Amino acid sequence: MAEHGSIFEAMLQEFDGAARLLKLEPGIWKILTHPKRQIIVSCPVQMDNGDIEVFTGYRVQYNITLGPAKGGIRYHPDVSLDEVTALAAWMTWKCAVAHIPFGGAKGGIVCDPTRMSKRELEALTRRYVAEIIDAIGPEKDVPAPDVNTNDQIMAWVMDTYSMHVGHTSTAVVTGKPLELGGSLGRREATGRGVMIVTREAARHLGFDIKGAAIAIQGFGNVGSVSADLLARLGAKIVAVTDWKGGTYNAQGLDLGRLLDHAREHATVDGFPGGEPLTNEQLFALEVDVLIPAALENQITMDNAPAVRAKVVTEGANGPTTPDAHKLLHERGIFVIPDILANSGGVTTSYFEWVQDRYGYFWEEDEVNTRLEKKMCEAFDDVLQTSLKYKVDLRTSAYIVAISRVGTVTKMRGMYA
């Protein structure tokens, strides 16, 4: 259970509001609120000191109506079945909003990767893949990196699967190294998508992204790439926090120096070009855009009243609790929901999967051009739906997603 209750229950709360507005049929409603498959596995690993540890792993395939399941694998001490199920559901809606032919899945292992050697991580990854091998594949379920996993871990996933099936299968996983069939532009894709929807929101709301003040929580892949790309548009990144601390400069942080500092120290804490800053202070800053790009349940009823941004772009999955989101909306804050805002990653994962299956790879400019087109179309679909139904963007995104998955579910009919 999450600190603020079940994350899956929070997802259902968001789903229900949109489903009611759509007048979704009761039978379809029941199907779309139950995960198709939940897998729990035990992964014994011999550690470097000779001891055997048994790790718990999960893989949830929430819905595969639109195509193969798609979703990351995270390594974290707080991974739970509830969290993985909610994230798999969000992936279902995210793929539908992005209008790509994937269903939703998610995986996770309860572990602390910061306390494990590379050999231990490889052994754990390979054992986990071996345990779920029958459930994954290019036509079944295509994993990707997530919290605390990367392209090296995806290479181990691909190799383990390939060894089992007897041939190299690059399309079983995305987020791989370029040398193994990865896609150019994939690493930056989620952050690029965040930049695109933030730019489109500024255009819709009538303020100039150039010179706009932006605060970012989380400076991992999504937060750092978003910051870099928005700065290139002329935006001022005034505040950044991460797991250890934060930094603030009202005139705008020097992004180049900050990125170098973060690479060298693995944190933005102590950056000499700004003043120290906490998460609480970051959320309360008077800025044009706030980008939560860390973990779930970061904007809650405890801090939502203090938020003073015009736009909240959800770079992370589920960073705002339902009650907090309702309050932000009532206060006139334009919230771009996670299932739209951070769908750049899964969209470019789809491009990678297509390239692997086709055996032909695109130049980075082509990947970015295709991503720009898909993100702008998705933003416009959600915006127009919000205006039609007179609802916030999160409810609108769910309406778009549920409508697409529900329509295909009805077309396919019941197999019995």
Q: What dihedral do alpha carbons 5, 8, 13, 15 form, nearest 10°?
A: 170
- pLDDT tens per residue, range 82-101: 999 999 999 999 999 999 99
Q: Residue 134 and residue 380: Cα distance in Å, rounded?
A: 38
Tokens representing 191 are 């952050």
pLDDT at 3 (0 to 100): 47
Q: Give the domain-ending residue among 180, 198, 222.
A: 180
DSSP assigned state of 369: H
196 lies in the same domain as 164:
no
Q: Which helix (H) or strand (E) holds 266?
A: none
152 lies in the same domain as 164:
yes
Return the closest-CA partner of residue 96 out of 137, 65, 59, 61: 65
Q: Residue 338 and residue 317: Cα distance in Å, rounded?
A: 6
Q: Which residues are catalytic?
A: 106
Assigned domain for 215 exists: yes
Pairing status of strand 289-292 against strand 275-276? unpaired
pLDDT higher than 80, residue 416: no
Assigned domain for 100 exists: yes
Cβ of 76: how many Cβ atoms within 10 Å?
A: 18
pLDDT higher than 80, residue 256: yes
pLDDT at 302 (0 to 100): 95
pLDDT higher than 80, residue 229: yes
- pLDDT tens per residue, range 138-188: 999 999 998 899 999 999 999 999 999 999 999 999 999 999 999 999 999
Residue type, 207: F
Assigned domain for 22 exists: no
297 lies in the same domain as 271:
yes
Assigned domain for 2 exists: no
pLDDT at 295 (0 to 100): 82
Cβ atoms of 344 and 194 closer than 8 Å: yes
Residue type, 13: Q
Q: Provide the CB-side half-sphere exposure for 331 (13 A, CA).
A: 17
254 lies in the same domain as 324:
yes
pLDDT higher than 70, residue 387: yes
pLDDT at 342 (0 to 100): 93
The residues pairing with 320 across neighbouring beta strands, listed in sequence order, are: 299
Mean pLDDT of the chain: 95
Average pLDDT over residues 66-77: 97
225 lies in the same domain as 157:
no
204 lies in the same domain as 87:
no
Binned at pLDDT 50, 70 and 90, residue 5 comes out as: low
Assigned domain for 39 exists: yes
Q: Residue 317 and residue 319: Cα distance in Å, rounded?
A: 6
54 lies in the same domain as 79:
yes
Assigned domain for 18 exists: no
Q: CA separation (Å) from 296 to 12, 92, 180, 208, 316? A: 15, 17, 31, 29, 7
pLDDT at 282 (0 to 100): 96
pLDDT at 297 (0 to 100): 86
pLDDT at 2 (0 to 100): 43
Q: What domain range is 346 assigned to?
A: 183-416
Assigned domain for 49 exists: yes
pLDDT higher than 50, residue 320: yes
Domain with residue 271: its CATH number is 3.40.50.720
Average pLDDT over residues 50-60: 98
104 lies in the same domain as 43:
yes
Q: What are phi and psi of 203, to 5 degrees?
A: -65, -45
Average pLDDT over residues 196-222: 96
pTM, rounded to two decimals:
0.92
pLDDT higher than 90, residue 7: no
Binned at pLDDT 50, 70 and 90, residue 407 comes out as: very high
Average pLDDT over residues 128-137: 98
Average pLDDT over residues 306-319: 94
The total number of structural domains in the chain stands at: 2
Assigned domain for 297 exists: yes
Q: Give the domain-ending residue among 180, 205, 238.
A: 180
Average pLDDT over residues 133-141: 98
Average pLDDT over residues 93-118: 97
Tokens representing 359 are 């055996």
Q: Residue 51 and residue 28: Cα distance in Å, rounded?
A: 49
129 lies in the same domain as 216:
no
Q: Give the domain-ending residue among 148, 180, 212.
A: 180
Domain with residue 72: its CATH number is 3.40.50.10860
pLDDT higher than 80, residue 1: no
208 lies in the same domain as 139:
no
266 lies in the same domain as 205:
yes
70 lies in the same domain as 160:
yes
Q: Which helix (H) or strand (E) holds 12?
A: helix 7-22
- Which position has the higher pLDDT, 298 or 295? 298
